[in-house]
Amino acid sequence: MLSQLVGHPVSGDPVAAGTHLLEQLGEDGDAPIVMIVDDAHWADLVSLRAVTFALRRLRTERVLTVLIARDTGWPHMPTGLRKLVDDDRTTRIRLNGLRSAEVDGLCAVFPHPMTRTAVYQGLGPTIRRRLHRHAALLAVAEADRLHHRRGDRPADGRLAGAGPGSRPILAARVAEQLAVLYLMAADAPQTLAWSRRALAGPADAAELGQVLHARLLARAASGRAKEALDSVSDLPAPAQADRSERDLLIGRGLVRSRTGNLTGAVTDLEGLIHDADRLSAHQRVHVHAQLGFTFDRMGRWDDASVQAETSIAFAEATEQLWMTAASRSLAAIVPAKRGDWTAAADHLAQGRLASGDIVSSRIYLAVAEAWLATSRGDADRVVRALEPLRPRLRAPQPAGVYP
């Protein structure tokens, strides 16, 4: 959708695309701009998140945005966009449906084959398959039923488990996801085991960067931080790194930060931010948070706060709130150290709400809660915050990963 809006192809990363849209909206200086998004309920999520990212960062630009949708409560509306729609300053106009005569008039104006094709392709594969299944149940003629049953089939046989050679590919992808999930569960041995299985699969079957990143952090969390760092000692500079190498640079920056090489961590993480257009939304959330923790260790509290807020903003703009535990933890630690207990407690509450029961997230939040209790001089609360983590941390030296 966004490519149609701006008139040329745009990045698949919502933050990069949103930044580009923001630049375009500011190109005409003080001239007023009207931006119309029709059929927003059919728009792809990347475009909606990019538009949300741009709208939330408008300051002095005179931009009127018209969002047209059948219903403002459609399920995949991004949270940030929903907040804008529900804002008291937003004008909402409800329109009734067209009468039969008006529909006939539209059909006469717009040739239906092209119109139907455009709408059909815009629905996306998941919605199309659901509609085909429903249509097959309603069809009277056998030919129509067969037509819709064919339309119900996934386009990619590999992902559906069909076709030769699909099992090893599927197994590698499952192993990749399990490696990441076990990392989130703070289970380093299982993370290492599933990383090995993912990397043993067919070439390009798994997301290599995620697997190598998980393996790097699991090694560090197992008390093998030196081994982990030695394995990534020859990474290229951030500006020359590909996506997988950027994942590894983020991991190396994190481990360097936790093991005391703060200068090296800043080199890795700041270098990635300087070339931020090449970072995925997930990578941006992560790298800003980890750079913030490094600044915190260096005593650069103002810089740490900026990085925490930036990480949170990117997570909200791209609907990745589950990733905000680290940045919310950091956003709580800095005011806790400064005695602003209310601000610290607020960030902790929002972090708990977003992270659920993800073990790695709860570790970050528990550390922040311990900092808040320390600031208040409440030793018993420090123990209560950290004690539940002891049986859940299987790694002998978790300091290689966690704050």
Burial of residue 141 (CB within 10 Å: 0-12, 13-18, 19+) is exposed
Q: Kindly state whether residues 78 and 117 are assigned to the same domain.
A: no
- Give me 108's structure tokens: 């006469």
What is the tens place of the pLDDT at every residue in 347-384? 999 888 887 778 888 889 999 999 999 999 999 999 99
The answer, yes or no, to whether residue 116 has pLDDT greater than 50, is no
Helix (H, G, I), strand (E, B) or coil at 341: helix
Helix (H, G, I), strand (E, B) or coil at 320: coil
* Domain harbouring 333, CATH code: 1.25.40.10
Domain contains 372:
yes
Cα separations in angstroms, 327 against 189, 280, 343, 348, 361 = 26, 17, 14, 10, 10
Q: Tell whether the torsion through CA atoms of 312, 313, 316 and 318 is positive or negative.
A: negative
Q: Kindly state whether residues 170 and 57 are assigned to the same domain.
A: no
The model carries a pTM of 0.62
What is the tens place of the pLDDT at every residue in 290-322? 999 999 999 999 999 999 988 888 887 777 777
d(CA 369, CA 403): 12
Identify the domain boundary among 153, 178, 195.
153
CA-nearest of 336, 325, 309 to 362 is 325
Q: HSE (CB half, 13 Å, CA atoms) of 101?
A: 0
Q: Kindly state whether residues 170 and 287 are assigned to the same domain.
A: yes
Q: Kindly state whether residues 245 and 307 are assigned to the same domain.
A: yes
What is the tens place of the pLDDT at every residue in 316-343? 777 777 788 889 999 999 999 999 999 9
3-class SS letters over 160-219: HCCCCCHHHHHHHHHHHHHHHHHHHCCCHHHHHHHHHHHHCCCCCCCCHHHHHHHHHHHH
Say if strands 33-37 and 63-67 run parallel, antiparallel, or are unpaired.
parallel
Q: Kindly state whether residues 132 and 252 are assigned to the same domain.
A: no
Q: How confident is the model at residue 166 (pLDDT cuts 50, 70, 90)?
A: low
Number of domains observed in the structure of the chain: 3
Q: Kindly state whether residues 60 and 181 are assigned to the same domain.
A: no
CB contact at 8 A, 257 and 295:
no
Domain contains 94:
no
**Residue range of the domain that includes 51:** 2-86
Q: Kindly state whether residues 258 and 364 are assigned to the same domain.
A: yes
Kindly calculate the radius of gyration of the chain based on its CA atoms and give it in whole angstroms.
25
Helix (H, G, I), strand (E, B) or coil at 66: strand
CB contact at 8 A, 265 and 256:
yes
Q: Kindly state whether residues 183 and 293 are assigned to the same domain.
A: yes
Q: Kindly state whether residues 178 and 149 are assigned to the same domain.
A: no
> Which amino acid would we find at residue 393?
L
Looking at per-residue confidence, does 212 or 204 come out higher? 212
The answer, yes or no, to whether residue 10 has pLDDT greater than 80, is no
Q: Kindly state whether residues 348 and 204 are assigned to the same domain.
A: yes
At 256, phi and psi to the nearest 5?
A: -60, -40
